[in-house]
Structure 1
Amino acid sequence: MSERRYFVMDEDKSTAFWQRYKEALKPGEEAMKAFLEEFGADNTWVSQGLGGESVIGLVFNSEPKNCKWLRVEKKHIDTGYVYVAFPNRRYLEGKHLQKQIGLLNTAMGRAADFSSWASHELGMYAERIGDGHISVSVAGYQKGRVILAVPMPNEGREPGFPAIHADLTEIKKSEFIALTEE
């Protein structure tokens, strides 16, 4: 486990920061709604990565008909089955869907994931490559406050620790744990 430094933002600034995040989500939500309407899908299938979530396919509650340009898989979930469709790029419509997925992911940007958005917005994103693992900055909104945990960089192998944002105050690990406990 890598060493980390912990930060917190005061409540007033945290509330304003949370509202900025909600505003940053709106263009992505509108793009998502238009995307789902265009393809008649019920939801999207996402992939989770270090930079946040990315849309990779469509989810239908019933099997899509006459869609040879989709690769459809039947997936079992808690409430039953759904049909997950991925673009088949051998067909023009599949290429169009792939392009629209790319545009949707661009429109959503990093705003879909608060942790990634906040770390980058505050200029406090850092990563540390350790023995078989990668540790990255994480942020959250707990008990009305923005909190942040930033890994210490490896000596000589990575850029130095990011400049501390003016709105953040460094706290001890025990204070961080007290804020994040449910």
Structure 2
Amino acid sequence: ISLESDRALLVASIEDLFNGSLDRFNSEVRIALKSVALQSLAGQHAIIPYWAMLLQTMPLMPFMCSVLTSSAHLPLVCRVPQYVSGVTLVFCVVPMVSAAAMHLGRRFIARISAGAGVAAACIVIGVFLTVMVGVWSALVWVLPRKICLGDLRRVGLSDWHAVLVAGSLNGLACIAAVWAFRP
């Protein structure tokens, strides 16, 4: 605000919006708006809490135990990435994908009128997230397994690189889950 006339115009507009009270505007900004802004920056980003997201992963737990026991014949350097990836899938990736689907669905559907557009948006979100989980799976399941089985020795990767690859990529998934679900 460079001119006093600009300031007077702004004050008059604010008073019109807040029933003639500049003090009401100040308290609204300092209390209500500030708490909403801080909550959006520091609060949980997911729509529902983490414990509720874990309920949907319960059927995955026996499945993952079965998958992980199928790798019992592999050397330890191959099993560790599989175990870390299995735990990360159940406790981080599936809840994150569900939260992302809810968030994206809420954002897109709010902008689309009812009808076929809503169904198409839901399908697009589902396909997008399925592709993302497929890419994640290839990076944390297939790539470390190929590394530890020696398929990538020609590019200079040793067996222990599988643990580094899986650990770093799964670590990113865990960080994302903490960001989305922290209280």
Task: Decide: shared fold, TM above 0.5.
Answer: no
Structure having the higher strand fraction is 1
Larger radius of gyration: 2
**TM-score w.r.t. structure 1 length?**
0.28
Structure having the higher helix fraction is 2
